[in-house]
């Protein structure tokens, strides 16, 4: 596996690969790799000649400076892990390499898509996501880019970005990978202590409670049930629970008028903010 840290080098390497007719799969990450990332890497290896993984903790998408400072950074361990899987190139630049001094930052607007859930609770977050994803897509020039469903709203933002800026690539989204107790795999999970880790699966349990009630109760009643359930879990503070349209992520007010919904949740567990979601087809079951 080749490790590249300079923007100029990744440009040269990608240009050579494309000139030789190689297809490029790309898995962008912020490191602290887990099985969810490995699923994306394996998928890329099956569908492309070359797989590139990036590890970059992007400062512009953190609206909380402490969150950025405390985000797990395990580059040495991640590099060793990537050498054991189907990864051909690791692109691991420094912040100074990605954001040169005095470089003007663009402002992205995604309309209603960023006015709900993560966009509402993390002002500026998706502008930072769009900035770094645009930069990485320009540098890596992938034929396919792979993301996980756990960051459902981020995937929707990136899909709109690809469409609006006419990036010539396919966006591939894979289902969330979970621990045996249902907790969605996340790099942030490493910051949970034992007690917090035991409480964290309550987010997924809340989603399953909501799913079971979709055909029997109204949206306000389901939201009340979810809030009551998590209110009884020590160390968990619900930030939001939404029943949304999977495409637009706008709130669904009447479940009887839709065929599919996205159940989305965010909560703080101890010092760690976690998100999760599930998609439910109301015509099944």
Q: Where are the domains of the chain?
A: 2-174, 187-281
Instruction: Specify the pTM.
Output: 0.95
Say if residue 285's pLDDT is above 70.
no
Which of 127, 122, 123 shows the shortest CA–CA distance to 108?
Answer: 127
Which of 109, 105, 159 shows the shortest CA–CA distance to 135?
Answer: 105
Which residue ranges are tagged as binding site for (R)-pantoate?
Answer: 61, 154
Question: CA 90 to CA 187: how far, in whole Å?
Answer: 18
Say if residue 90's pLDDT is above 80.
yes
Question: CA 149 to CA 276: how far, in whole Å?
Answer: 9
Average pLDDT over residues 45-71: 95
Average pLDDT over residues 63-84: 94
Average pLDDT over residues 132-136: 97
Could you give the percent of the chain with pLDDT greater than 90? 93
Higher pLDDT, 236 or 106: 236
Which residue ranges are tagged as binding site?
Answer: 30-37, 61, 148-151, 154, 177, 185-188
Average pLDDT over residues 118-127: 93
pLDDT of residue 104: 62
Which residue ranges are tagged as binding site for ATP?
Answer: 30-37, 148-151, 177, 185-188
Say if residue 43's pLDDT is above 90.
yes
Average pLDDT over residues 50-69: 94
The pLDDT confidence band at residue 278, using thresholds 50, 70 and 90, is: very high
CATH of domain 2-174: 3.40.50.620
Average pLDDT over residues 224-236: 97
The pLDDT confidence band at residue 100, using thresholds 50, 70 and 90, is: confident
Say if residue 102's pLDDT is above 80.
no
**Given the residues 37, 121, 125, 138, the one annotated as active site:** 37
Q: What are phi and psi of 122, to 5 degrees?
A: -130, 75
Say if residue 86's pLDDT is above 90.
no
Average pLDDT over residues 130-153: 97
Looking at the structure, give the CATH architecture of the domain made up of residues 187-281.
2-Layer Sandwich (3.30)
The pLDDT confidence band at residue 106, using thresholds 50, 70 and 90, is: confident
Residue 257 Ramachandran class (φ > 0 left, ψ -120 to 50 alpha, else beta): alpha
37 is catalytic: yes
Give the strands of the sheet with 2-4, arranged side by side: 2-4, 89-91, 50-55, 24-29, 144-148, 170-174
Which residue ranges are tagged as binding site for beta-alanine?
Answer: 61
Do residues 170 and 62 lie in contact, with contact meaning Cβ atoms separated by under 8 Å? no
Say if residue 194's pLDDT is above 70.
yes
Contact partners, residue 49, CB within 8 Å, separation at least 6: 17, 22, 23, 24
- The mean pLDDT value of the chain amounts to 95
């Amino acid at each position: 596996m080749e490790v590249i840290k300079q923007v100029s080098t990744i440009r040269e390497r990608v240009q050579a690969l494309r000139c030789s007719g190689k297809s490029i799969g790309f898995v962008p990450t912020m490191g602290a790799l887990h099985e969810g990332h490995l699923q994306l890497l394996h998928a890329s290896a099956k569908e492309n000649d070359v797989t590139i993984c990036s590890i970059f903790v992007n400062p512009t998408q953190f609206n909380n400076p402490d969150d950025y400072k405390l985000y797990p950074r395990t580059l040495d361990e991640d590099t060793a892990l990537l050498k054991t899987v189907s990864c051909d190139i690791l692109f691991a630049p420094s912040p100074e390499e990605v954001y040169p001094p005095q470089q003007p930052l663009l402002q992205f607007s995604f309309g209603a898509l960023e006015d709900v859930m993560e966009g509402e609770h993390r002002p500026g977050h998706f502008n930072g996501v769009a900035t770094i994803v645009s930069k990485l897509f320009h540098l890596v020039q992938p034929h396919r880019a792979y993301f996980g469903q756990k960051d459902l709203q981020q995937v929707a933002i990136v899909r709109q970005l690809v469409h609006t800026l006419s990036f010539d690539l396919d966006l591939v989204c894979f289902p969330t990978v979970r621990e045996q107790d249902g907790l969605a795999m996340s790099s942030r999970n490493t910051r949970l202590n034992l007690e917090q880790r035991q409480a964290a699966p309550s987010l997924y349990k809340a989603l399953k409670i909501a799913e079971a009630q979709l055909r029997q109760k109204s949206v306000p009643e389901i939201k009340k049930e979810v809030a009551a359930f998590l209110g009884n879990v020590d160390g968990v503070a619900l930030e939001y629970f939404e029943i949304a349209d999977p495409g637009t992520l706008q709130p669904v007010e009447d479940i009887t008028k839709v065929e599919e919904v996205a159940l989305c949740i965010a909560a703080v567990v101890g010092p760690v903010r976690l998100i999760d979601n599930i998609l439910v087809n109301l015509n099944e079951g």
